[in-house]
Amino acid sequence: TLPPPPHNIKKSPFPDNKKTPPPPPGGETTELISVTEAADGAVSFESKLSKLSSIGTISVTRDYSFTPVVGKTVAATSTSNTVTVTSCTPNDCRNDFSVNDIIKIGEETFTITDANPNPNQMTLSSNFLGTSQTAGDIYTWAFGYEWTITYVSHVGDQPLIVATGADNWSGVNPTIQAYTVTNGEAPISGSFRLTYEGESTPPLIHECTAAEVKTALESLTTVGVVGVSRFVNNNGHDYLVTFTTELGPLNVITVDDSELTGPSAKAQVNTMVSGVLPTDYRQLTVASGSALSQTVTGLTKGTAYIFRVRSYNSEG
């Protein structure tokens, strides 16, 4: 699973003839939401939206909605709380900016604590912490709010919320709109193959079980008995494969993930613990396929030995 998308509901002014479309047929509608509704809490934007059966788990944040001050830029020095409005006559500055106005420079929000129209300087409620600039954009509060909604439990892209004004919707050119900030990403899907010593498994679905991986590996003539466990990671699964009948350090399984789909979908194999050969381990290959017996020499009297016989042919 991958993180779901945030959507943003923003209140900003544009002419009244921009009508908001009605909710889609069959869609659910929230109870009334105040234009100053808190983002979260017992009675909030989040609590009211969460009551809809199609929403799932969400998180909501609230910020001021801002509108750009057209034709005006600002000179701001990092760590200073004094800024200068450029391209602004004293009369313009008086009309556009006043004490207690809420403004935004870069990604920082301030309240104007002092405004001197000549030489167009303003004192802010805190120091500007961004990079110093000589002609930065400046925004003023549009007397509304925007709420950013992040879908936590849903996977993939979500339908856009439809925002409509209620019967008591009023004000000077009040508007409301919803738009997508980030599209949700599709979950991992597709399949992968495992290869060991030249033999490959059939395609394994991206969320296959541990038992399915075990069966696929043990169907290869190059693999004996393995134990497989599956664990959930952030975006998919980890599979722990233990060779129980093969001895010593073994070659690594390789994986073909070319058929996996989804953002940044990737599979990789790592060795957790290398196998170790038993003490005094020896291996003997019998050259003749017709031999029915074999004598092992060089043994120590009184020492117990374990023998394992395995047949093979040109196919493995």
pLDDT above 50 (res 244) = yes
**In this structure, are residues 60 and 49 in contact, taking their beta carbons and an 8 Å threshold?**
yes
Average pLDDT rounded to a whole number, residues 29-40: 93
Q: Which CATH entry fits the domain spanning 66-142: 2.60.40, 2.40.30, 2.50.20, 2.40.50?
A: 2.40.30
- What's the mean pLDDT in 160-187? 84
Query: According to the model, what pLDDT value does residue 193 have?
Result: 98
Per-domain boundaries in the chain = 66-142, 189-261
115-120 CB contacts, 8 Å cutoff, 24+ apart: 117/90, 117/91, 117/93, 118/90, 119/84, 120/84, 120/85, 120/86, 120/88, 120/90, 120/93
CA 75 to chain centre: 36
Residue 247: per-residue pLDDT: 86
Per-residue confidence (pLDDT) for residue 75, from 0 to 100:
93
Distance CA 74, CA 77 (A): 10
Average pLDDT over residues 19-43: 77
Model-wide pTM > 0.85: no
List helix spans (H) across 151-197.
none
Which structure tokens are listed for 97? 């900016």
Work out the pLDDT band at 87, boundaries 50, 70, 90: confident
pLDDT digits (tens, 9 = 90+) for 49-70: 999 988 889 999 999 999 999 8
Mean pLDDT for the stretch of residues 214-234? 94
Average the pLDDT over 189-196 and give the result.
95
The mean predicted confidence, pLDDT, of the chain is: 85
Count the alpha carbons within 13 Å of 188 in the hemisphere toward its beta carbon: 21
**Candidate from 8-22, 92-106, 123-137, 180-194 with smallest mean pLDDT:** 8-22
Closest CA to 188 of 253, 259, 268: 259
Structure-model confidence comparison of residues 288 and 301, the more confident one: 301
